Structure 1
Amino acid sequence: MRLGYKSRVSAGGGHRISMKLCVLLCLLPLLRSYPLIKGKHNDTGNNFHPDPDPAYSLPGMSGRCTEEGFGAITLDDKGVMHYFRGDSEWTGFQGPTQHINVTWPGLTGPIDAAFRNHNKKTPLEHHRIYLFKGEQVWSYYEGKLVKGFPRLIGKEFPGIPDHLDAAVECHQGECRTDSVLFFKGHGHETRQNATLMAIKDRCSNRSFEAFCSDDKSRIYAFRGGWYFRLDSSKDGWHAWPLSHTWRNLQGVVDAAFSHEHRMYFIQGSQVTVYLSDQMYIPVAGYPKAIEEEWEVSGVTAVDAAFTCPHSSDLYLIRGNRLTLVDLNTRRRSGEDETIIHSEVDSAMCNAHGLYLIHGPSFYHYKDVGELLSTNTAPAPGTIASYFLDC
């Protein structure tokens, strides 16, 4: 059940502003929709450590990535991720174990849920942190407890129950407006394990079926009915099931690309299109066959597809063959070209160049011209560290 309403939220100095909230209760399928973000602490964030050095652990406290999972996770106002379990907390992927009240004065664990408010239209509320425990909620800004907190959850967020299972920020584009999703009604242990599994999954070096960048320069990585989205280095990676953002879209995405405020998804021989001006709305008449959409006879499936910024050229990759389609005429343009890569899982072109992706690696080219003119592939990069901040 999804309920939309407006709630009055008190900011510092007594200024009162509205924040649009969405409530999702008893929805187990969205368990893994926590914002899965790699924190930016003092380190460069390029190394993923499932278990911190024992020297960093306080006596009697488990390592960061055990099968216990976490009670809650959230970003702070500087884009650093915080992980909560019991009365302990981890900062980033390399920070030591410490007690919760070291970072969050006046609060002890366990924490039921946490989120960072993302609402640029309300500066006094933007990037404020909310931590939930039992019947109460604590709010912090720049590491300090906001005046008037803790408060009863029902007074700060009318209609929201206490003893929550989770709370997740949902940015505009994923939701109609900057919103918060609250969860209650499923097993706490199940949620913890699902959260941990999703964090490990992003950094597992498993291949992705598709990568793409949209008109707002956000990067999407698709794998097995889920996608990870990067808004900016500060906001980090968010993970959602496909249908959360693109209604009725399910299963494996073979290729995806964006062009003129539309997102295109290729699954097998079919193409599905969504408008992306405000939120993603399915375009009527889809899915269509690839051959019908672009008049490319003989093309019934692709390994990858991409467009580059400010261009109407669509490139379809099948094995080592590159097919050019003019999106203005929706027809094949010229003869197919041969590339030096015989296997490509996905491809993405953005302001930084062209990326061909295979397995856990990517190959970077300045543009399509460089790809077509080279006889030697560049040194491969690692997707996990370069794109996913693992």
Structure 2
Amino acid sequence: MKLLATLYLSLVLGLGASLPLGDLIADGGSHDATLPDRCDGIEFDAITPDETGTTIFFKGAHLWNGFLGPAQPSNEFFHELDEYGHVDAAFRMHNPENKDDHDHVYFFLDDKVFSYYNRTLEAGYPKPLQDEFPGVPSHLDAAVECPKGECPANSVLFFKGHDVHVFDIDTKVVKTKTWSHLPVCTSALRWLERYYCFHGHNFTKFNPVSGEVSGDYPKDARDYFMKCPGFGHGGEYKIPKCGDVKIDAITTDDQGKKYFFAGPIYMRLDTHRDGLHAFRITGTWKEMIHGVDAVFSYNDKLYMIKDDQVYIYKLDAHNTLIEGYPKSLKEELGIEGHVDGAFVCPNKDTVHIIQGTIIRDVDLSATPRVVTRDFPIPISEIDAGLCSQEGVYVFKGSTFYHYDSAFTLAVTKMAPVPENITPAMMGCQE
């Protein structure tokens, strides 16, 4: 089942989960006294993901590969940097229109720039910084990529003091802003479409366009970006047994982002390259304080259902609640009662709503929206439904049912044999 091949539910029971499944091993920092220990609380020189999604942390002559593990000499991986001292700033290029530099990792040392791919220095590097990024000052503090959609254009944010130099990758135009309210960033990181300024052993999340900081910051990086004894913001990480798995809702939006929801948390399933991580629903959709019953995507909007209310959010960088919402189920979809699951199949205008042992079809292109037909289904107590090119998946507890299509689900009188969610699918325990 390709759709769920990357679904790790190991983080569902730990609301503080910020580390990939493979990192759920007690680290405790490095134990070699000759190596720096980031659990002591240090200020990083630079942080960047590489082309595989591994986040690299730099400090002096050492680095850490990923969120766990001890420090290692950086010259074992990037030996050409030795001659120039420590890394000032680094970022992973986001330029899908130009395959020659997309996903390449750039390092900045004094007035020089290095470009690496697969940990190999590209031909012609190092270069003078001005040759590659004209108008950007040398001796930078930090850098981070900002793709179009999150910024007005594919850009790189270069930090020096309180000044932020926004470099347009296509036009090579630099616009300088001053964000005096933001701490001086010694490193910066774009992680799961969020932007973080690291300063000391703390970090502050910020808006990449305005520099706005919302929420309770700064926070200690050891609580979120590494596993350290005595730190962590959500308790110990627990891998549930496959028999304990329960999904409240699951969907794919029109941008190809895959989400699942369980209790107060959600997880993006399409971010496996940068790690799969659990977040509180209210951190992205602040109005959904009681979780969700069902979620579906249609026409670049995300419909979130809780009790008898429908919340509709724009699929933009800020997940903006559309003015006038929430509205009642009756007013928005022409139905009443508890919703167990909902899904829209690719390139279709019908939302299939599961209520008990009935599946109801609502034409989303019609006004007003009313139920066009309903069918009994041979399964009760369904938790969630999902439709993809591979068919329809109906989830019930730790099992799922697979149908070839929504039509098959509606007309089949007998349920298929339920299949158990497996460790290979979801990373749960036998």
Measured against the shorter chain, the TM-score band is 0.5 to 0.7
1:278–1:164 distance in 2 versus 1, CA, 3 Å: closer
Q: Offset at 1:213?
A: 0.5
Amino acid at match of 1:253: V
How many Å separate the matches in 2 of 1:262 and 1:228? 18
Q: Do structure 1's residue 147 and structure 2's residue 137 form an aligned pair?
A: no
Matches for 1:1-390 after TM superposition, within 5 Å: 48=22, 50-51=24-25, 60=32, 75-77=49-51, 79-82=52-55, 84=57, 87=62, 89-90=64-65, 99-105=73-79, 106=81, 115-121=91-97, 125-129=101-105, 140-142=115-117, 143-144=119-120, 147-148=126-127, 152-154=139-141, 157-158=158-159, 159=163, 164=186, 166-169=188-191, 171=193, 181-184=196-199, 187=202, 190-196=220-226, 204-205=239-240, 207-231=246-270, 234=273, 237=276, 242=281, 246=285, 248=287, 250-276=289-315, 280-297=319-336, 299=337, 301-329=338-366, 330-344=369-383, 346-359=384-397, 361-372=399-410, 373=412, 374-382=414-422, 385-386=424-425
Structure 2: which 5+ runs fail to align?
Answer: 1-15, 130-137, 144-157, 165-182, 204-218, 227-231
How many Å separate the matches in 1 of 2:201 and 2:71? 28
Amino acid at match of 1:190: D
TM-score calculated relative to the size of structure 1: 0.63
Amino acid at match of 1:194: Y
1:154–1:67 distance in 2 versus 1, CA, 3 Å: closer
How many Å separate the matches in 1 of 2:290 and 2:63? 38
Q: More displaced, 364-373 or 227-236?
A: 227-236
Q: Offset at 1:140?
A: 4.1
Structure 1: which 5+ runs fail to align?
Answer: 1-31, 39-46, 175-179
Cα shift readout 1:24-69 (whole Å, capped 9, x = no counterpart): xxxxxxxx897x6x6xxxxxxxx8463399xxx99749xxxx9999
How many Å separate the matches in 2 of 1:207 and 1:92? 27
CA contact (8 A) 1:114 1:168 kept: no
Q: Offset at 1:286?
A: 1.1
Q: Offset at 1:325?
A: 2.0
Q: Secondary structure at the match of 2:394?
A: strand
How many Å separate the matches in 2 of 1:272 and 1:259? 13
CA contact (8 A) 2:309 2:327 kept: yes
Q: Offset at 1:307?
A: 0.9
Larger Cα-atom Rg: 2
How many Å separate the matches in 2 of 1:244 and 1:320? 33
1:49–1:336 distance in 2 versus 1, CA, 3 Å: same
1:60–1:124 distance in 2 versus 1, CA, 3 Å: same
CA contact (8 A) 1:88 1:109 kept: no
CA RMSD of aligned residues (A): 5.0
Q: Secondary structure at the match of 1:334?
A: strand
Amino acid at match of 1:104: F
Amino acid at match of 1:229: R
TM-score calculated relative to the size of structure 2: 0.58
1:59–1:282 distance in 2 versus 1, CA, 3 Å: closer
Amino acid at match of 2:126: K
Q: Secondary structure at the match of 1:215?
A: coil
Amino acid at match of 1:268: D
CA contact (8 A) 2:295 2:302 kept: yes
Q: Secondary structure at the match of 1:335?
A: strand
How many Å separate the matches in 2 of 1:168 and 1:139? 20
Q: Secondary structure at the match of 1:310?
A: coil
1:82–1:335 distance in 2 versus 1, CA, 3 Å: closer
CA contact (8 A) 2:359 2:374 kept: no
